[in-house]
Amino acid sequence: MTDGLPQNILDAARTLWSFHLVDDEPAPADIIIGLGSYDLRVAGRCADLYRTGYASRILFTGGSGNWTRDVFERPEADIFADVAVDAGVPPSAILIERQASNIGENLTFARAMLPGLSSAILVTKPQTQKRVLAATLQLWPDIHTAVTAPRTGFSDQPTAGHSITMLIEEMVGDLARLIDYPARGYCAQLPIPEDALDAYNMLLGHGFTGHLP
């Protein structure tokens, strides 16, 4: 799991992991929105929330993005829908958005599909929760949301196709976006604690630059 990475790198990565978590407590909502990615556990979390009765509909949004362009042969949203159906969600309860290629588009296209929506549960990977929160505050400020994710710990988050090195690059790149994107109007400005910035700069210095904007 650790790819032989030294302890100081792993400690810095855990600091970024903790920063990126939001994990709001869900409340009943108009819809569950699953943001597409390489991580099929997101679809499973959406199915769990549906079966528990938090909402009567799920929207899966995603075409292909940085991590899935060369991995999936179909849009992320369709693959997520298959996972949810296999987990017991009826196809009639699922809406599909197949064009989004990043978090901003996930939210923008979902908003266009759901006029008048007042509340949603946004489900994403654990390490992208803070970015989803910041983007929602900027791009969909009039909706009441909870941001949540699969209950996966740092050690269990890497997958066969997404190594811990890739996970660290993803977290570094998303923090770079949280720093750079507010000035571009892509997301709201969120406070970034000093320990997260120190970890970010240390990991940049060690070459974890593969997901920078």
- Alpha carbon distances (Å) from 41 to 79, 123, 180, 188: 11, 10, 29, 27
Assign domain 21-148 one CATH number from 3.30.70.360, 3.90.1150.10, 3.40.50.880, 3.40.50.620. 3.40.50.620
pLDDT value at 2 more than 70? no
Confidence of residue 122 (pLDDT cuts 50, 70, 90): very high
Residue spans of the domains in the chain: they are: 7-19+157-205, 21-148
Confidence of residue 144 (pLDDT cuts 50, 70, 90): very high
pLDDT value at 132 more than 90? yes
Closest to 104 measured CA to CA, from 171, 25, 4, 174 = 174
The amino acid occupying position 128 is T
Question: In this predicted structure, what is the pLDDT of residue 113?
Answer: 96
Q: Which residues make Cβ contacts (< 8 Å) with residue 21, sequence separation at least 6?
A: 126, 127, 129, 130, 149
CA atoms within 13 A on the CB side of 54: 22
pLDDT of 55-98, one tens digit each? 999 999 999 877 677 777 899 999 999 999 999 999 999 999 99
The amino acid occupying position 11 is D
The amino acid occupying position 111 is R
Question: In this predicted structure, what is the pLDDT of residue 127?
Answer: 97
Question: Global pTM?
Answer: 0.95
